Amino acid sequence: MPASWVSPAFFVSPSLPSAENLLRWYHVHRRILPWRAGPGSLPDPYHVWLSEIMLQQTVVATVIPYFHRFIERFPTISDLAVAADDEILGLWAGLGYYARARNLIRCARAVAEAGGFPVTLDGLRALPGIGPYTAAAIGAIAFDIPVVPVDGNVERVTARMFAIEEALPAAKDAIAVAAARLGAQAAAQSRPGDFAQALFDLGATVCTPRSPSCMVCPWRDGCAAHARGLSADLPRKAKRAARPVRRGTVFVMQDRSGMIGLRRRPPRGLLGGMLEVPGTDWEATAPPPVPPCAAHWLDAGTIVHVFTHFELRLTVKVGRVAALPGGIVAAPPDTPLPTVMRKALEAGLAVLDERSPK
DNA sequence: AATCCGGGGTT
DNA sequence: AACCCAGGATT
């Protein structure tokens, strides 16, 4: 038989990975997560939405305690919609990507106003904080809209199944097309929510980034990367730039009643709208440290915190003050803070405690 | 298309 | 220490 009778695609994917096989695997191996409903039943859209926002670039284990605290405090989206911004931002403190929390508030109020979530992808996509991925995820999981949400897991699984060797992010379109092909199978179309979550779970527990467990994979037979011994090498990714270092100084102030001096950051940008320990700007070379008020400043060392695109080294000074200066808000030491500011505050308070323990 | 935007789990 | 995570908004 002439080789030309056989299309190259035949060698790339001998047989499409079976949606039915994956769903059968999912029935046995699915993760039990607080925002999930039982197999075959649709979960609460509010729970799905809240979990999806929290899960953006955040691992499941980190999200779970935050999710529980939110659901306990805000049992319905209406409870969330009428809450004060500060309380919501406080509950979000430490989770990161604070624009998510600001969009969460706007989205909750829009949904409460409308009387419920839109049930179309375009309607979901129009809400604050909901992009193409999250719209597809909520649509599939909460409303059984037949669509494949393409997150990092699905990108990885799909790139391997079809042995897509082009590097990300250039390969995004090709991967999305291939993922849609997986979802076009009848079994996936009939259970879009389970199919999406099955892909997530396969990527999270079997088709993992570093050393995938191909021996127990329900899709091994249909996996072109496995056939070529490429599984652990895909998807390829473009190299990232090195992370620069920025430096600054913060001043931890404690008054006689034990209150700490904090400052509200501008509403947008890095740590937008969150509280911070007052200090200098953050530059490549440390700006001159100008204390916010006169005090006997003690050295509390340096804390290091890694952000997505730079590393921050903060020199921490600490002092007791008779009265907090103007423009500074007095807050108790356990006030919810972004992690970098929590680190700085703890470093300062540790030095005070060691000098004059209570 | 690039860049900005946290924090931490995993290896 | 590097990589990556149920990405979105902005420029």
Mean pLDDT of A199-216: 96
Confidence of residue A345 (pLDDT cuts 50, 70, 90): very high
Give pLDDT, residue A14. Answer: 57
Contacts 24+ apart (CB under 8 A), A25-28: A25/A198, A25/A202, A25/A218, A26/A194, A26/A197, A26/A198, A26/A201, A26/A202
Confidence of residue A10 (pLDDT cuts 50, 70, 90): very low
The backbone region for A225, taken as left when phi is positive above 0, alpha when psi lies in -120 to 50, beta otherwise, is alpha
Strand B contact at CB of residue A95, distance < 7 A: yes
Q: What is the dihedral of CA A24, A30, A36, A37, to 10 degrees?
A: 40
Chain A 315-354 contacts with nucleic strand B (CB below 7 A) = 338-340
The string of DSSP letters for A197-251 reads: HHHHHHHHHTS-SSS--GGG-TTGGG-HHHHHT-GGG-S-BPPPPPPPEEEEEEE
Pull the structure tokens for residue A102: 């600001």
Give pLDDT, residue A225. Answer: 97
Confidence of residue A2 (pLDDT cuts 50, 70, 90): very low
Q: What is the pTM of this model?
A: 0.93
Confidence of residue A241 (pLDDT cuts 50, 70, 90): confident
Is residue A52 annotated as part of the catalytic site, yes or no? yes
3-state secondary structure of A130: coil
- Between A40-44, A122-126, A141-145, the lowest mean confidence (pLDDT) is in A40-44
| Active-site hit among A20, A52, A72, A311 | A52
Residue whose CA lies closest to nucleotide B2 C1': A169
Strand C contact at CB of residue A51, distance < 7 A: yes
Mean pLDDT of A15-38: 94
Confidence of residue A354 (pLDDT cuts 50, 70, 90): confident
Confidence of residue A337 (pLDDT cuts 50, 70, 90): very high
Q: Which nucleotides of C are covered by protein (CB under 7 A)?
A: 3-9
B4 C1' to A236 CA distance, Å:
23
Measured CA to C1', what is the nucleotide nearest A169? B1
- For the stretch A211-229, pLDDT in tens is 999 999 999 999 999 999 9
Domain positions in chain A are 8-233, 245-355
Q: How far apart are CA A93 and CA A338, in angstroms?
A: 5
C11 C1' to A268 CA distance, Å:
15
Give pLDDT, residue A306. Answer: 95
Q: How far apart are CA A284 and CA A181, in angstroms?
A: 48
Q: Which residues pair with A320 in a beta bridge?
A: A254
Measured CA to C1', what is the nucleotide nearest A59? C5
Domains A8-233 and A245-355 share a fold: no
Average pLDDT for chain A: 93
Choice between A51 and A9, residue whose per-residue pLDDT is larger: A51
Let me know if domain A8-233 sits in CATH 3.30.70.600.
no
C8 C1' to A272 CA distance, Å:
15
Strand B contact at CB of residue A96, distance < 7 A: yes
ω into A169 cis (within 30 of 0): yes
Strand B contact at CB of residue A99, distance < 7 A: yes
**Terminal-residue alpha carbon distance, chain A:** 88
| 3.20.20.480, 3.90.79.10, 3.50.50.60, 3.40.50.720: CATH of A245-355 | 3.90.79.10
The string of DSSP letters for A271-313 reads: TTT-EE--B---BSSPPP---SS---PEEEEEEEEE-SS-EEE
- Between A8-12, A263-267, A314-318, the lowest mean confidence (pLDDT) is in A8-12
Chain A 262-281 contacts with nucleic strand B (CB below 7 A) = 269-272
**Spatial contact of A148 and A139, defined as CB atoms under 8 Å apart:** no
- For the stretch A284-320, pLDDT in tens is 999 999 999 999 999 999 999 999 999 999 999 999 9
